[in-house]
């Protein structure tokens, strides 16, 4: 027996503990494909957790550099299918070649933000413009992580989601988005910024529940976010992108611990990572 609601599904499982086993209800995070249709043309599919689909597609278009004005974007309809969902979006003034440049080979997956792209251009650091990194005192990071955790109901129920949180100049968490894919969670946060008319409004920090990868830092920079705080380690490529774009990058943000991998106040690195 199953009982599905948006983002979570309950079913009977057999839980083992040593030699003992017992049937019980378990909440599972929902993973379903979502097709993006832009101006009537299919673009791509992504595996995601249902919820905030409009923010997801809006944020993807932001972090890929296609849309930066909410007035250009119209959410036309969100169609729930038996197995696959579809969201249809209208974009005013879309470059005719933009969809072809974005179209991926096959479906993307929740763990990868660059699958299907070709060429070195996919890995060239890009930002919306000069970034304004928000100064986040390391002593404040535990409170921000706690605030993010309190706004993760699906993670609390399932233990199976990533989260992306936005922190404003007052060091308050203003937005938390959840998804089975950490890149999708970041896109949902970026889409929320766009739809709220807050792109470039003020310096922000992004907290990501996963590791600091190339794509995490890149997506933040394309949303105009200059400070990235990750719960897990940063990769060499993430640090290289942070150096190139002037992103303040933290990793291993757990409890009172945090590692500052790069800070634009340090100046130019002596050697590239």
Pairing relationship of beta strands 205-208 and 227-230 according to DSSP bridges: parallel
DSSP 169: T
pLDDT the model gives residue 149: 96
Non-local CB neighbours of 240 within 8 Å, separated by 6+ positions: 125, 272, 273
Average pLDDT over residues 58-81: 95
Task: For 201-222, write each residue's pLDDT tens digit.
Answer: 889 999 999 999 999 999 999 9
pLDDT the model gives residue 118: 52
pLDDT the model gives residue 73: 96
> Is pLDDT above 90 for 241?
yes
Pairing relationship of beta strands 248-254 and 227-230 according to DSSP bridges: parallel
**Residue 112: active-site member:** yes
Rounded to the nearest integer, the mean pLDDT of the chain is: 89
Counting other chains too, the contacts that 80-84 makes at CB distance below 8 Å and 24 or more residues apart are 83/32, 83/33, 84/32, 84/33, 84/34, 84/35, 84/45
Task: For 127-170, write each residue's pLDDT tens digit.
Answer: 988 999 999 999 999 999 999 999 999 999 999 999 999 999 99
pLDDT the model gives residue 108: 46
Identify each DSSP E strand in 83-204 by its residue range. Answer: 85-91, 162-167, 173-179
79, 86 Cβ separation under 8 angstroms: yes
**Cα distance between residue 33 and residue 185, in whole Å:** 15
CATH superfamily name and code, 138-266: Cytidine Deaminase, domain 2 (3.40.140.10)
> Is pLDDT above 50 for 191?
yes
Q: How far apart are the first and last CA of the chain?
A: 51
> Is pLDDT above 60 for 1?
no
pLDDT above 90 as % of the chain: 79
pLDDT the model gives residue 112: 53
Q: Is 218 left (phi over 0), alpha (psi -120 to 50) or beta?
A: alpha
Catalytic residue chosen out of the listed positions 112, 115, 175, 230: 112
**Cα distance between residue 64 and residue 215, in whole Å:** 11
192, 179 Cβ separation under 8 angstroms: no
Intervals of CATH 3.40.140.10 along the chain: 138-266
**Res. 273 pLDDT band, cuts 50 70 90:** low
**Cα distance between residue 213 and residue 179, in whole Å:** 17
The stretches of 161-249 forming alpha helices (DSSP H) are 182-195, 214-222, 236-245
**What's the topology of domain 32-123?**
Ubiquitin-like (UB roll) (3.10.20)
Q: What is the dihedral of CA 177, 179, 181, 183, to 10 degrees?
A: -20
pLDDT above 70 as % of the chain: 89
Intervals of CATH 3.10.20.10 along the chain: 32-123
pLDDT the model gives residue 227: 98
Of all helices (H) and strands (E), which one includes residue 153? Answer: helix 153-158
> Is pLDDT above 90 for 178?
yes
Positive or negative, the CA dihedral 27, 33, 39, 43 is positive
> Is pLDDT above 80 for 266?
yes
pLDDT the model gives residue 95: 85
Q: Is 160 left (phi over 0), alpha (psi -120 to 50) or beta?
A: alpha
Here the tokens at position 11 are 């079913």
178, 154 Cβ separation under 8 angstroms: yes
Q: How many residues make up the chain in this entry?
A: 273
Task: For 76-111, write each residue's pLDDT tens digit.
Answer: 999 999 999 999 999 999 987 888 888 753 334 444
Average pLDDT over residues 106-119: 48
> Is pLDDT above 80 for 263?
yes
pLDDT the model gives residue 174: 97
pLDDT the model gives residue 26: 93
């Amino acid at each position: 027996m199953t009982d599905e609601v948006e983002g979570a599904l309950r079913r009977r499982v057999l839980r083992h503990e040593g030699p003992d086993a017992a049937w019980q209800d378990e909440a599972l995070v929902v993973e379903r494909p979502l097709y993006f249709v832009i101006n009537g043309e299919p673009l791509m599919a992504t595996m995601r957790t249902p919820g905030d689909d409009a923010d997801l597609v809006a944020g993807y278009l932001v972090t890929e550099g296609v849309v930066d004005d909410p007035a250009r974007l119209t959410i036309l309809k969100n169609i729930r299918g038996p197995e696959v969902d579809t969201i249809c979006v209208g974009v005013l003034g879309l470059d005719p070649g933009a969809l072809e440049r974005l179209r991926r080979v096959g479906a993307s997956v929740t763990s990868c933000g660059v699958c299907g792209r070709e060429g070195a251009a996919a890995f060239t650091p890009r930002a919306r413009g000069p970034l304004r990194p928000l100064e986040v005192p390391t002593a404040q990071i535990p409170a921000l992580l706690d605030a993010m955790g309190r706004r993760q109901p699906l993670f609390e129920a399932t233990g199976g989601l990533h989260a992306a949180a936005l922190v404003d100049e007052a060091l308050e968490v203003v937005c938390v988005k959840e998804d089975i894919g950490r890149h999708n969670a970041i896109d949902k946060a970026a889409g929320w910024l766009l739809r709220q008319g807050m792109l470039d409004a003020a310096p922000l920090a992004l907290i990501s529940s996963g590791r600091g990868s190339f794509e995490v830092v890149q997506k933040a920079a394309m949303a105009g976010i200059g400070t990235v705080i990750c719960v897990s380690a940063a990769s060499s490529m993430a640090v290289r992108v942070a150096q190139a774009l002037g992103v303040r990058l933290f990793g291993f943000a757990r409890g009172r611990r945090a590692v500052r991998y790069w800070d634009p106040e340090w100046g130019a690195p002596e050697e590239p990572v």
